[in-house]
């Protein structure tokens, strides 16, 4: 019952460093998402994908890039990390259709010093 | 653009009592869905309940029910017989059914604390 798996779970970066968060889902879902959650706030959508090879911008895409080379994986990249990107990052996936709730990973806590 | 609002930053409820968490939304589209998620202190997001805009009856899932008042654009979550394990953050989310990716827009959340 893996569901949605995110790696790494924790990471500390220095300003200007780059890193990639990996999201993997084993439910054969078409849609995948990256959200960020800042303290005391709800989740905000960074980027999303409606299928293999497709990506689109969400509400807060600046400073992030994504790729969906395989249906089961959705990568979130930070090319030059900034302290404002300190956050908890959630990956999610959903099936197509009206009801399709999002299934979330456990989150990745990123700190940029 | 759609908007979703949770006006209660924090709430207390006595164990075994019922509690209502408020959620209002703003959209002009007729077709949409409303979701509630629970986030315990461990951090994961747990799906609780869904209500479609065309659903005739209020959604229920065990101790969770959704008080859907379409004309008032509210979708309040009711938790009956609160348990200590219900202490968590609760998020309401809106999805427009005409968007390409099924993505959700989340409210700011309500922290529920259940007192023994």
B47 and chain A: CB distance < 8 Å anywhere? Answer: yes
**pLDDT on residue A2:** 74
Tens digits of per-residue pLDDT, B24-55? 999 888 889 999 999 999 999 999 999 999 99
The burial class, CB within 10 Å (0-12 / 13-18 / 19+), for B9 is: exposed
Q: Is some CB atom of chain A closer than 8 A to the CB atom of B67?
A: no
Closest partner residue to A101 (CB to CB) among B6, B50, B109 is B50
| Binary contact (B47, A99; C-beta < 8 A) | no
Distances from the Cα of B77 to the Cαs of A6, A96, B6, B44, in angstroms? 29, 25, 11, 19
Find the mean pLDDT for residues A69-96. Answer: 95
pLDDT, mean of residues B56-66: 95
Mean pLDDT of B97-103: 73
Residue B12 predicted with pLDDT over 90: yes
Q: Tell me: the pLDDT tens digits for A54-77?
A: 999 999 999 999 999 999 999 999
- Enumerate the residues of chain B whose CB falls inside 8 A of the CB of residue A58: 103
Say whether A21 sits in a helix, a strand or coil.
Answer: strand
Residue B23 pLDDT > 70, yes or no? yes
Residues 6+ apart with CB under 8 A from B55: B68
End-to-end CA distance of chain B: 41
Nearest chain A residue to B49, by CA: A101
Sign of CA dihedral A36, B8, B48, B67: negative
pLDDT of res. B1: 62
B100/A contact by beta carbon, under 8 A:
yes
Mean pLDDT estimate for chain B: 93
For A31, name the nearest residue in chain B, comparing CA atoms only: B101
The answer to whether the CB atoms of B47 and A49 lie below 8 A apart is: no
Residues of A in contact with B29 (CB under 8 A): none
A74–chain B Cβ distance below 8 A for any pair: no
Query: In Å, how far is B108's CA from the nearest CA of chain A?
Result: 4
A107 touching chain B per CB within 8 A:
yes
Which positions in chain A touch B96 (Cβ < 8 Å)?
none
**A13 contacts A111 by C-beta, under 8 angstroms:** yes
pLDDT interval class at A1 (50, 70, 90)? low
Task: Yes or no: say if B21 and B110 are a contact pair by the CB < 8 Å rule.
Answer: yes
- Of residues A16 and B103, the one with the higher pLDDT is A16
- A108-112 and A10-13: which strand pairing? parallel
Cβ count within 10 A of residue A106: 16
Nearest CB to B109 within list A42, A98, A103? A42
């Amino acid at each position: 019952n893996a569901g949605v798996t995110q790696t790494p779970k924790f990471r500390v970066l220095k300003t200007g460093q780059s890193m990639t968060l990996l999201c993997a889902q084993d439910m054969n879902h078409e849609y995948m998402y990256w959200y960020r959650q800042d303290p005391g706030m709800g989740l905000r959508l960074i980027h999303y994908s409606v299928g293999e090879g497709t990506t689109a911008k969400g509400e807060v895409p600046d400073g992030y890039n994504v790729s969906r080379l395989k249906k089961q994986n959705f990568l979130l990249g930070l090319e030059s990390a900034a302290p404002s990107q300190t956050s908890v990052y959630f990956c999610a996936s959903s099936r197509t259709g009206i009801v399709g709730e999002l299934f979330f990973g456990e989150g990745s806590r990123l700190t940029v010093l | 653009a759609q908007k979703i609002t949770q006006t209660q930053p924090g709430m207390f409820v006595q164990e075994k009592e019922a509690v209502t968490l408020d959620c209002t939304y703003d959209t002009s589209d007729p077709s949409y869905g409303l979701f509630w998620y629970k986030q315990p202190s461990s951090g994961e997001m747990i799906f609780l309940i869904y209500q479609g805009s065309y659903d005739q009856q209020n959604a229920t899932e065990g101790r969770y029910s959704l008080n859907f008042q379409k004309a008032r654009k509210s979708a309040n979550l009711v938790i009956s017989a609160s348990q200590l394990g219900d202490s968590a953050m609760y998020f309401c989310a809106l999805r427009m059914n005409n968007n390409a990716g099924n993505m959700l827009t989340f409210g700011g959340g309500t922290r529920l604390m259940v007192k023994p």
